[in-house]
Amino acid sequence: MFRFHSIKDYHTALIAEQVTCIQAVNYYLDQIKQHQNLNAYLEVFTEEAIELAKALDAARAQGLPLGKLHGVVVGIKDVLCYKDHKVSAASKILENYTAVYSATAVQHLVDEGAIIIGRQNCDEFAMGSSNENSAYGPVKNALDIERVPGGSSGGSAVSVQANLCMISIGSDTGGSVRQPADFCGVIGLKPSYGRISRYGLIAYASSFDQIGIFSTTVADAALVLEVIAGADAFDSTVSNQKVPAYSQEIKSIEVPKKIAYFKETLEHPGLDPEMKAQTMAYLEQLKKEGFIVEAIDFSLLSYLVPTYYVLTTAEASSNLSRFDGVKFGHRTKDALDDLTELYKKSRTEGFGEEVQRRILLGTFVLSAGYFDAYFTKAQQVRKKLVDLTTALFSNYSILVSPTVPTPAFKLGENNHTPTEMFLADIYTVYANLVGIPAISIPLFKHSNGMPFGLQIMSAGFNESELLSFATKLMEPKELNA
Ligand code: GLN
């Protein structure tokens, strides 16, 4: 990160007058310019970032109190509203749409002195696992530009990976923060459902969506979470639970000792053998360090992806109905006097192929003849998973698994059938189905040179334990990007 290891180190240097916010901003603007080939940003807020950096430097010089994220350079995924700035969900249907208010999370960042440097490319409406579904072209993995960065928050992951900002804010409906973090070798945190307000986050599947954080250290993710989490009158699904001072708690609370993993996740035939071997060896190592690590049976693994895709497409078909060319979004230029035709044409022109596929799937599973067979069944599976998770965490503090079954694949390679792409989400969708927090930390390297992570999960609203465990595992080598 810039010349610093963490936000804390950056702040120490700012206070010691060894660096200024304007230097930080200029550094990142230059980095973004030099790495345009990665296609990580859809828009950079250059002038504004420079002005704000100058104002923050002046405020510091005057001895005014500093926000928790004073001068921290943040990129936001193009699904987060930032008042008076464009937001498109990487879709043609929202091209040139300007946000009329700021997402609560974005407002919290700004209130604590963060500098929003730009909006980041992603899969259209956050639907995808490779960032190949953006209407504005794919994002490239900075470690190997022939490979995908993962998705849907690919631009956000690459921005942290390639040092194009200090922190990125993404969204995670079924893995969209953790999976690209895994592919890019950075930290990706998805908090509990309801930990952060979704107000101002363009909805994909409302009962799954959660804002998440990309960083290079766990401490930075904890600090940002502490700033953006918490109750919000604009989102009735957000929890009123008090927000702990996560950045302090990760140092003071005891590291949880009892760890479970689902036997079926490591035995899955789709898991890359080398990743399996490294993950197993790592779990053995943890045992030697005194952790209790136990395999438990999980017969529902093969139900996760179908359940996730039935429910999320159903919710998406409803959420995306507002983009009809009349209330919101692109309207066809063809002068049509038939309203249904106008809707059809506008939506066909505006939505990309993957989004159309999901709207159709969602409409199908919600249709009268199939509702019980698909939607109701999937809700029942979800309920079962929730019960099972409650039982699990009454016995264990931590659940681990690989984040993704394979390392980052080549652009175009995994795109043969949509189902192949869906299956890559097998390990990440669980946390969204049951609403628990999960983090991917970059512990491993594949022999093909690409990084991969370990996914750690805890009981709902137990981010403090989750983050302190992640800190412990990252200890010998917090990323020094
Ligand atoms: N890959 C998953 C999907 O396409 C996850 C997306 C997300 O988390 N936004 O639905």
With pLDDT > 70 as the criterion, what percentage of the chain qualifies? 98
Q: Which two tokens stand for residue 80?
A: 């987060």
Structure confidence by residue, pLDDT tens digits, 356-377? 999 999 999 999 999 999 999 9
Boundaries of domain holding 203: 7-251
User: With a 6 A CB cut-off, is 204 part of the ligand 1 pocket?
Assistant: yes
In a domain, 152, yes or no: yes
In 151-272, alpha helices (H): 154-161, 178-184, 218-228, 246-252, 263-267
> How large is the average pLDDT for residues 403-422?
86
**pLDDT tens for residues 50-94?**
999 999 999 999 999 999 999 999 999 999 999 999 999 999 999
Any atom of ligand 1 within 6 Å of the Cβ of 464: no
Q: 3-state class of 304 per DSSP?
A: helix
Indicate if ligand 1 lies below 6 Å from the C-beta of 175.
Answer: yes
- Mean pLDDT score, 208-221: 98
CATH of the domain at 52: 3.90.1300.10
User: CB of 315 closer than 6 A to ligand 1?
Assistant: no
- How far apart CA 207 and CA 228 sit, in angstroms, is 19
Structure tokens at 114: 């963060």
Tell me the C-alpha distance between 317 and 480, whole Å.
42
Question: Which one-letter DSSP state was computed for residue 80?
Answer: B
Any domain includes 12: yes
β-sheet bridge partners, residue 73: 115
Q: pLDDT band at 421, cuts 50/70/90? A: confident
Question: Is 316 a residue whose pLDDT tops 90?
Answer: yes
Q: Among the listed ranges 49-58, 180-189, 398-407, 412-421, which one has the minimum average pLDDT value?
A: 412-421
User: What is the band of 1 on the pLDDT scale with cuts at 50, 70, 90?
Assistant: low
Q: How far is the CA of 176 from the centre of ligand 1 (A)?
A: 5
Tell me the pLDDT band of 207, cut-offs 50, 70 and 90: very high
- Bond preceding residue 6 cis, omega within 30 of 0: no
> Does the beta carbon of 131 lie inside 6 Å of ligand 1?
no
Res. 480 pLDDT band, cuts 50 70 90: very low
At residue 477, the pLDDT reads 52
Domain annotation covers residue 179? yes
Identify whether 447 is part of a domain. Answer: no
Task: Give residue 423's pLDDT.
Answer: 84
The per-residue pLDDT for range 109-167, each reduced to its tens digit, is: 999 999 999 999 999 999 999 999 999 999 999 999 999 999 999 999 999 999 999 99
Residue count of the chain: 481
Please report whether residue 192 resides in a domain: yes
pLDDT band at 197 (very low <50, low <70, confident <90, very high): very high
Distance CA 140, CA 389 (A): 36
Residue 266 CA, ligand 1 centroid: distance in Å:
22
Is 70 exceeded by the pLDDT of residue 257?
yes
DSSP-derived secondary structure letter, 217: S
8 A C-beta contact, residue 6 and residue 219? yes
The tens digit of pLDDT for each residue in 259-280 reads: 999 999 999 999 999 999 999 9
- 398-402 and 451-458 beta bridge pairing: antiparallel
Cα–Cα distance for residue pair 361/160, rounded to 1 Å: 34
pLDDT for residue 399: 98
Smallest CA-to-CA distance from 444 within 288, 276, 294 is with 276
Please state the atom number of ligand 1 nearest to the C-alpha of residue 173.
8
pLDDT of residue 478: 54
Q: Judge contact between 47 and 81, C-beta under 8 A.
A: no
pLDDT of residue 416: 63
pLDDT number for residue 223: 98
- The answer to whether 350 and 93 are in contact (CB under 8 A) is yes
Amino acid 413: pLDDT:
86
Cα-based angle 446, 447, 452 (whole degrees, multiple of 5) = 5
pLDDT of 233 higher than 80: yes
Considering the entire predicted model, what is its pTM?
0.97
- The candidate with the shortest Cα–Cα distance to 120, out of 228, 38, 24, 229, is 38
Please work out, in degrees rounded to the nearest 5, the angle formed at the alpha carbon of residue 281 by the alpha carbons of 453 and 180.
10
Domains contained in the chain, number: 1
Whether the CB-CB separation of 165 and 73 falls below 8 Å is answered with yes
CA 106 to chain centre: 15
Q: Which of 173, 177, 207 to mutate to test the pocket of ligand 1 (most atoms within 8 A of CB)?
A: 173
pLDDT higher than 90, residue 352:
yes
Q: Are 153 and 76 within 8 A, CB to CB?
A: no
Q: Quick one: average pLDDT of 22-40? A: 98
302 within domain boundaries: no
Question: What pLDDT does residue 166 have?
Answer: 98
Q: Answer whether residue 84 is part of any domain.
A: yes
Q: Which residues are catalytic?
A: 77, 152, 176
DSSP symbols for 340-354: HHHHHHHHHHHS-HH
Q: Is the dihedral of CA 5, 7, 13, 19 positive or negative?
A: positive
Question: How confident is the model at residue 261, as a pLDDT?
Answer: 98
In the block, which residue shows the tokens 């810039």?
2
DSSP state of 85: S
Q: What is the mean pLDDT of the chain?
A: 96
**Does a structural domain hold residue 331?**
no
Tell me the per-residue pLDDT of 62-71, one tens digit each, with 9 for 90 and over: 999 999 999 9
**pLDDT for residue 248:** 95
Residue 324 pLDDT exceeds 60: yes
Q: Is the pLDDT at 235 greater than 50, yes or no?
A: yes
